Chain A
Amino acid sequence: MSDWKQNLQKTRYVMDALLLVSFMIVSAPQATGVPLHEWLSLLFIVPFAIHLLLHWDWITHSFKRLFSKISAKERFNTVWNYLLYLMMLLATVSGFLVSVALLPTLQIDINIQDFWSKVHHDSATLIMPMIGIHLALHWNWIVQLTKRMVSKKA
């Protein structure tokens, strides 16, 4: 367990777990209260950015690979990741545009539109099943890594 920093897959595993937990907290403003939700969402950018940085190779190669001979699963996975990225940005952007605590604290005045309230609600809700499918597409990896993390050796 203590050697996870030395292994790329294990580093990803720990960071992915952190990402999932922080995502679930951010997605429950009813439990945290809206002001805390807003500040935690700002903080959430960190595990999210880490998730992307740890897949740098995928980011730089995925688009070109779409035009080569790849499996249907990989193609779907790539498109899905792009959609997920867009949806995450949409949820974050619309979140800022309906902010009632963070932006006012920073002395930024905005006029909240019903449109962005709806977009924030809908995108935040839609992203949950999208992440479910994202996790399913990496199911084998999750099972395999969980076994490796639990067992003492290698």
Chain B
Amino acid sequence: MKYLQYQWKSRLFYVLAISILVSVMLVSLEWTSWAEQINSQGYTHGEGEGKMPSILMYILPFVKELILIGVPMLITVALAKLIGRFKKRK
């Protein structure tokens, strides 16, 4: 914990201040024509199916996450190893 506590007040202040500043800038995306276009098109999702066994509601979201995080991770690790091997041979 000592590493976390070191000058944590000033550091946290900076991190939060910058994050809030950037967040306010992100909110201004609302005024872009991109936002206008999506608002006028309308957007809905997740309706439909509905009838899912209830245990699956607790499992499937995590399966989805494991795949969406894990597959890109494994591909990147494999690629990095390949590039590393290629470089060593040169």
Q: How many chain A residues touch B (Cβ–Cβ < 8 Å)? A: 44
Binary contact track A123-154/B, C-beta < 8 Å → 1, others 0: 00100111111011101000000000000000
Cβ of B54 to closest chain A Cβ, rounded Å: 10
Find out whether the CB atom of B42 lies under 8 angstroms from the CB atom of A121: no
Q: How many residues of B contact A (CB 8 A)?
A: 42
- Are the CB atoms of A135 and B73 closer together than 8 Å? yes
Specify which chain B residues have a CB less than 8 angstroms from the CB of A119 in the assembled complex. 29
> What are 12 A-B pairs with beta-carbon distances under 8 A?
A49-B15, A53-B8, A54-B3, A59-B15, A115-B30, A118-B43, A129-B72, A131-B69, A133-B72, A135-B69, A136-B73, A136-B74
The 9 A-B pairs with the shortest beta carbon distances in the complex, nearest first, are A136-B76, A28-B61, A132-B72, A132-B73, A128-B68, A114-B43, A129-B72, A115-B35, A132-B69
